[in-house]
Chains A and B, each alone.
Chain A
Amino acid sequence: MKTLVFIGTAVLLALVFMLLPQPDATYQLKPAATAASDVSSNSFVLGPVKLFDGQQWREERYVEVRAGRVSQLHLDKPDSELPLIDGNNQWLMPGLIDGHVHAWGDALQQALDFGVTTVLDMFGDHQFLLAQKAARAGTERTKQADIYGAGTLVTAPKGHGTQYGMAIPVIENPVQASKFVSDRLAEGSDFIKIVYTSAKALRRFSPSIDLATLQAVIAAAKEQGVLAVVHIADLPSAEEAIAAGADGLVHSFFSEPVSAELLQLMADEQRFIIPTMTVMEGMIVNQINDELLLQAPPAQLTAAAISSLQQRFGNFQIPQERYQVLATNTAKMAGAGILLLAGSDAPNPNTAHGVSLLVEMVLLQRAGVSGLQVLQSATSAPAKAFGLTDVGYLRPGYKADMLLLSQDPMTELTSLLTPAAIWKNGWLHQPELPAKSTAVTAGLVADFNTGLTARSGGFAASSDSMVQGKSSAEISVQQGVLKVTGTTRPGFAYPWAGVAWQTAASIDTGSDFSEITRIKFNIRGTPGQYRLDAFTVGSWMPSSQPFTVTEDWQAVTLPLAGFRALDMSAVNVLSWIGPAGSFEFEIAIIELE
């Protein structure tokens, strides 16, 4: 009897453990429309293909993948028990490495959807890095790119990097360098990123650490066995950083032509640079996204990504010719044999995760970098520069992160935008296509005669109390009027209180406002300066238009074109925001025209 109970308990225990859920155990992919038909395994033979291994084009035509890693390259079809995936003589290359991102949220998913299988994070939340970097050692099935990162960057008090609302540690003098670096490593940083502007620079945008501190931090990083890369924006800073021993430069510069000394030094000592031309193109020229992406957006591009690509930097008044200086500098560096890394700096304005790396590669090519170097810049070059041993090449032992392309990337780089297949850790990756938003037609949105009913979506009070701010708002409906009472108090970086109209049932799809030109509503209330905020799907920064409210009813009409950088095809929230302090206002009859 006792034995029975004992065995019973043991069986029950085993059962409980068997029942505990596994990651993506039931995850099933739809069969790909392309060559890759077997998605149930990360062991297979792929071929025949034209193979770029990250460094060079190879003779071999078949890739043997076992448990998510390249096990062998074959000239002819190998005699193997593994399933064969027909490569249709297409072009195969390693998954791309984005040499400069700032990743949070779903950045790693977005990256992988565009074939970017690894990203190098150049400053972000070290907790995020720590949580995500766990996955990179193995070859489990995943929807995310691998991440290597700097964690928190090294900058001066109030320096570049401190402006994003995240409280970060800063460094004040060279004495702190060693501990500052070891603190970063303890937090999980894979390398050290330093922000530096030379005292000799023509323009200094924000406070910078001094040269002695820069030297001390680089020395500390070397002592503790990690790479030190330096964010620079001008020639003197670049020269001093390289002289101080920086392993690489983050960003190039357009302030003046690169000096022969710098070229020589960087080439001789094998230092690298991540020029991030895309983000600078956004500061100066602002055309490439329209040309390459926005005319006919790739299917994987989400509304949020589009809005990020359309976002603009503040007006820097930089003359257009400056971009040519940048392009010439980049070409000279490539010509001098300096290792060039493609990096997008997503999600800064003018960029989005994943897709902007392809834009960067196109910009490198147009600057005059050779086709082979461009392909290397997103594969073997970052692997070499950062000492990555798992990714960047399609050679035995490396991860089977691969892109199959229907056109030759040497001549048609944009074929990277629509890869025939993406493999991550040897698993075929099916990009998730964003949900479509439904179109909104002109007419009445709500008249508040039957409660809060809106033609689509719904109304709700909205204030910064949802993000721990101190403002508050309440709404009520009576006889055709929506009444909003609220108080806007400081306490959050952007205080707000008012009423929000979620334009569709799902906040993730929003509504298509392309056919609407104006929004009209009647309003009265506490006199003051009000504003209407409009949000694009996935973006948390609204675009605003102000209007004045008086104690008497008046009709307000706002043109939708007045919302800067609003993606009309995916508007998910419109908010009527009251003035500072206590207020009360009433809205009646909201119409779209």
Chain B
Amino acid sequence: MSVITIYQKEAWYDLVSVWRTPGFVIPSLTFPLVFYLFFGVLFSPSGSNSHAAYMLVTYSCFGIMGPAMFNFAMNIASERAQGWLTLKRLSPMPFSAYLLAKMATSLVFALVIILLLFSAAAIFGEVRLYHSQWLSLALLMLLGTVPFALIGLLLGLTLSDKAAPGVVNLLYLPMAFLSGLWVPVTMLPHVMQQLAWLWPSYHLSQLGLKLLAMDQGHAALLHLALLLLTTAGLTLLCLFVFRRVIGAK
């Protein structure tokens, strides 16, 4: 079997195994959709179709974060607890195939969520964007899953399988709210607005809003740099933790 095939098979089976967990699939797909329809479309101030467009960006961001964080954190934590991770490492399969498979699954979920939200925005929210904007927003959101996957990985490597779901929620929901993904960041109290700079989700959403020229007006490069810096930091941290986890076994 060629190396490429191993990567493909691992990715495919990871996707299948997640796909066969309705308890994961249904909430992660419907949660952002229902939230968006509710807050982005139904509660849209009348006479404003920019609201639905603004919220499309933030809820897309919210949507793609979920599967990335949960898929990594929960599955790795439980596979670690079950000894599956040890088995995988002992098998001749390159370990990166395992991680890339998880990444691929997160991307598939992100893509489905993006398609659902975009369709909802186009049909119910009357959002009209240029093809370039639709496409670049989708691409940005797909790329944007990386830092959240890393956060998930970090949690999956450090937490027990019982603690993982709780801790992910504890991070995911407040982070989404504080980054202005549920209600526009400008509506948050001033202190929270400043704290928003801490969260990668804030920078991702601002980059997305920049595509629609609805952002807060900070430099795109600044957001991008902070996002890359966070990603780099998380990568290093993951490597460090990974070594320790392996060393302990």
In the complex where A130-B186, A131-B50, A131-B54 touch, is A20 in contact with B118 (Cβ < 8 A)? yes
Q: What 9 A-B pairs have minimum CB-CB distances, sorted nearest first?
A: A134-B213, A23-B128, A131-B50, A20-B134, A21-B128, A21-B122, A20-B122, A134-B214, A22-B130
Residues of A5-33 contacting chain B, CB below 8 A: 13, 16-18, 20-25
Asked whether A565 is an interface residue with its Cβ less than 8 Å from the other chain, the reply is no
Known: A17-B138, A127-B184, A183-B190. A22 touches B129 (CB 8 A): yes
Task: Point out the residues of chain B lying under 8 angstroms from A24, CB to CB.
Answer: 128
Contact A188 B118 (CB under 8 A): no
CB-defined contacts of A127 to chain B, threshold 8 Å: 184, 186
- In the complex the two chains form, what is the Cα distance from A468 to B246 in whole Å? 59
In the complex, how many angstroms separate the beta carbon of B123 from the nearest chain A beta carbon? 9
Q: Which residues of B contact A222 (CB under 8 A)?
A: none
B135 at the interface (CB under 8 A from A): yes
Confirm or deny: A211 has a beta carbon within 8 angstroms of a beta carbon on chain B. Answer: no
- Which residues of A come within 8 Å of B, CB atoms? 13, 16-18, 20-25, 105-106, 126-127, 130-135, 137, 183, 186-188
Given A17, A105, A188, which contacts B135 in the complex, CB threshold below 8 Å? Answer: A17
**Residues on A with beta carbons closer than 8 Å to the beta carbon of B118:** 16, 20
Interface residues of B (CB under 8 A from A): 47-48, 50-51, 54, 111, 115, 118-119, 122, 127-131, 134-135, 138, 184, 186, 190, 193, 212-214, 216-217
Please give 5 more A-B residue pairs, beta carbons under 8 A apart, in addition to A21-B122, A22-B131, A131-B54. Answer: A22-B129, A23-B130, A105-B47, A134-B214, A186-B216
Can you name the residue of chain A whose Cβ is closest to the Cβ of B121? Answer: A20
Cβ contacts A to B, 14 pairs, < 8 Å: A17-B131, A20-B122, A20-B129, A20-B131, A22-B128, A22-B130, A23-B128, A25-B128, A130-B186, A131-B50, A186-B193, A186-B216, A186-B217, A188-B217
Determine which residue in A20, A126, A130 has the highest number of CB atoms from chain B within 10 A of its CB, and name it: A20
In the bound assembly, the distance between CA atoms of A135 and B212 in angstroms comes to 9
Q: Which of A16, A18, A131 has the most CB of B within 10 A?
A: A131
Asked if B131 and A18 make an inter-chain contact with CB atoms under 8 angstroms apart, the answer reads yes
| Contact assessment for A131 and B190 in the assembled complex, using a CB-CB cutoff below 8 Å | no
Q: Are A131 and B129 in contact (CB under 8 A)?
A: no
A134 to B130, CA, bound (A): 14
A18 to B51, CA, bound (A): 23
| Distance between A135 CB and nearest chain B CB, rounded to angstroms | 7
User: Across the interface, which residues of A come within 8 angstroms of B131, CB to CB?
Assistant: 17-18, 20, 22
Task: Flag if A130 contacts B135 (CB, 8 Å).
Answer: no
CB distance from A527 to the nearest CB of B (A): 38
B186 touches A137 (CB 8 A): no
Chain B residues within 8 Å of A22, by CB: 128-131
